[in-house]
Amino acid sequence: MNTELVVKIALKSWDFEYNRFKKLLDKISNEQLLKEVAPGKNTGIYLLGHLTAVTDAMRPMFGLGTALFPELGLPFISTPDKAGLEFPEPDALRHMWAQVMEKANADFHNMPAEDWFKRHNSMTDEDFVKEPHRNRFSVLMSRTIHQGYHAGQVALLVEKTA
Amino acid sequence: MNTELVVKIALKSWDFEYNRFKKLLDKISNEQLLKEVAPGKNTGIYLLGHLTAVTDAMRPMFGLGTALFPELGLPFISTPDKAGLEFPEPDALRHMWAQVMEKANADFHNMPAEDWFKRHNSMTDEDFVKEPHRNRFSVLMSRTIHQGYHAGQVALLVEKTA
Mean pLDDT of A25-53: 97
B125 touches B5 (CB < 8 A): no
Residues of B in contact with A145 (CB under 8 A): 13, 16-17, 144-145, 148
CB-CB under 8 Å, A38 with B117:
no
Q: How far apart are the first and last CA of chain B?
A: 47
Of residues B141, B151, B153, nearest to A13 (C-beta): B141
Mean pLDDT of chain B: 95
Question: pLDDT at position B57, please?
Answer: 97
Distance between CA atoms of residues B17 and B145, nearest Å: 9
Confidence of residue A159 (pLDDT cuts 50, 70, 90): confident
Q: Please check whether residue B13 touches A, CB under 8 A.
A: yes
The answer to whether residue B60 neighbours chain A at the CB level (below 8 Å) is no
B3 shares contact with chain A (CB less than 8 Å): yes
Among A69, A149, A56, which residue's Cα sits nearest to residue B144? A149
Which residues from chain B sit within 8 angstroms of residue A12, using beta carbons?
Answer: 133, 138
Whether A144 and B149 lie within 8 Å, measured CB to CB? no
DSSP for B49-99 reads: HHHHHHHHTHHHHTTS---S-GGGHIIIIIS-TTSS-----HHHHHHHHHH
- Scored b (16 or more CB within 10 A) or e, B60-96 reads eebebeebbbeebbebbeeeebeeeeebbebeebbeb
Over residues B76-99, mean pLDDT: 97
Q: How far apart are CA A158 and CA B153, in angstroms?
A: 14
Q: What is the mean pLDDT of residues B87-98?
A: 98
Give A9's contacts in chain B (Cβ within 8 Å). Answer: 133, 135, 137-138, 141
Closest alpha carbon to A85 in A38, A53, A56: A53
Contact A133 B9 (CB under 8 A): yes
Whether residue B161 is predicted with pLDDT greater than 70 in this model: the reply is no
Closest-CA distance, A112 to chain B, in angstroms, reads: 13
pLDDT attached to residue B81: 98
Rg (CA), chain A: 17
Interface predicted TM-score of the whole assembly (ipTM), two decimals: 0.93
pLDDT, residue A1, reads 63
- Chain B neighbors of A10, CB-CB under 8 A: 141
CB contact under 8 A, A13 and B151: no
Average pLDDT over residues A61-84: 97
A130, amino acid identity: K
Note whether A153 contacts B152, CB cutoff 8 Å.
yes
Give the number of other Cβ atoms within 10 Å of residue B15's Cβ.
Answer: 14
* pLDDT-derived band at B2, boundaries 50, 70, 90: confident
- At A53 the pLDDT is 98
* Angstrom distance (rounded) from CA B157 to CA A37: 12
B130 touches chain A (CB under 8 A): no
Which amino acid belongs to residue A23? K
Given this model, what pLDDT does residue A85 score?
97
Which amino acid makes up residue B21? F
The amino acid at B3 = T
pLDDT band at B70 (very low <50, low <70, confident <90, very high): very high
Note whether B141 contacts A10, CB cutoff 8 Å: yes
B53-68 pLDDT, tens per residue?
A: 999 999 999 999 999 9
- Predicted confidence at residue A23, as pLDDT, reads 97
Q: Which of B155, B77, B146 is nearest to A148 (CA)?
A: B146
Q: Between the CA of residue B141 and those of A6, A14, A124, A146, what are the distances in Å? A: 11, 10, 27, 13
Q: Which residues sit opposite A43 in a β-bridge?
A: A36
Convert the pLDDT of each residue in B100-127 to its tens digit: 999 999 999 999 999 999 999 989 999 9
Q: Name the residue type at position A36.
A: E
